[in-house]
Every structure is written in structure tokens, then in C-alpha cells.
Structure 1
Amino acid sequence: MEVKVHKKGIIVIPAEVRRRLDVKEGSVLELEVEGDKIILKRKTSLLDAFGIDEDMGGSAVKELEELRKEEIEKESSV
């Protein structure tokens, strides 16, 4: 499959590929360079990995972040 590079380095990922990999507007992709190859990978979030709905998952992630902050503060005060 070929894609064209437009101004500012923009490329369009073909619709077939976006559907197959569930890439939507706002999706985050990881870019790797290996030799002369550019590799784009769909970055999987915790919400994607566990199929949690966005509202419930978002609050769970915030709670985990808060717990981790508290752990870090306790560790640094020792």
C-alpha cells in the first residue's frame, strides 16, 4: 500500500487500515524508526485493553493516579 506525504509531513492512513486497527480521530499511535523503515503502532490504553467504558475507566484511572501519588509522597518522606 502506498501513501503520499503532504505538507508538514502529513500522511493519510487508508480507511481500510484505520477500520482494521480501530484507529479513529484522536487515537494515539507510536512511531518507531528502524533503519529506513517507519513503523506506526496503535497505542493501546488501559481502557482499550480491558474494554472498560470511557466514563467508568476514566474515573478508575484517576483513582489509580491518586493512589500512586500518595505512595510516591510516602516513599519520598522516608
Structure 2
Amino acid sequence: MEVKVYKKGIIVLPSEVRKKLNITEGSVLNIEVKDDTIILKKELSLLDAWGIFEGKADATEALKILEEERRKDIEKERKGNY
């Protein structure tokens, strides 16, 4: 699959990719560069976690994810990455 790079480095993800990964406006993607490869990963949100665990586990699992995300945010704040 190919995408075109527009002004300021903007790319458009094909609709089939967005639908498959449930990427909507405001979704956060993490970018990783390895050699000459760009890797985009969808960040798991709390809402995503609730959908994953629905009927499979209790709220404890979602709470663990929320705590981990908050810990990451605090670390970023401490390092001045916000």
C-alpha cells in the first residue's frame, strides 16, 4: 500500500487501515524509526481497553492500563516532553 507525503510531511492513512484499526480523529499514533523503516502504532486508549476487556475481565484490568498510562505521562512531564 502506498501513501503520498504532502506539504509539512502530512500523510493520509487509507480508509481501510483506519477502519481496521479503529483510528478516528484524535487517535494517537506512536512513531518509531528503525533504519529506513517508519512504524506507526496505535496507542491503546482507556476506551479501547474497555472494549477489549468487555465480557472477558473486570474493571481491574482497565484500571491497570489507566495507571500505566498515567505513569508514562508523569515520566514525560518530568523529562519535559510535554
Please name the residue that 1:24 is paired with. 24
Please name the residue that 1:44 is paired with. 44
Q: TM-score, normalised by structure 2?
A: 0.60
For residue 8 of structure 1, give the secondary structure of its aligned residue in structure 2. helix
Please name the residue that 1:76 is paired with. none
Q: Is 1:35 the equivalent of 2:44? A: no
Deviation at 1:48, TM superposition (A): 1.1
Deviation at 1:46, TM superposition (A): 2.3
Q: TM-score, normalised by structure 1?
A: 0.63
Q: Distance in 1 between matches of 2:19 and 2:46?
A: 20
Write out per-residue CA displacement over residues 20-71 of structure 1, whole angstroms, 9 at most, x where no aligned residue: 000001100000001100000010012211239xxxxxxxx8xx88xx9xxx
Report the count of equivalent residues.
Answer: 56
Please name the residue that 1:5 is paired with. 5
Q: Distance in 2 between matches of 1:10 and 1:49?
A: 28
Where in structure 2 are there 5+ consecutive unaligned residues?
A: 54-62, 71-82
Q: Distance in 2 between matches of 1:50 and 1:39?
A: 25
For residue 4 of structure 1, give the secondary structure of its aligned residue in structure 2. coil
Identity %, equivalent residues: 66
From the CA coordinates, give the structure whose radius of gyration is larger: 1
Where in structure 1 are there 5+ consecutive unaligned residues?
A: 53-60, 69-78
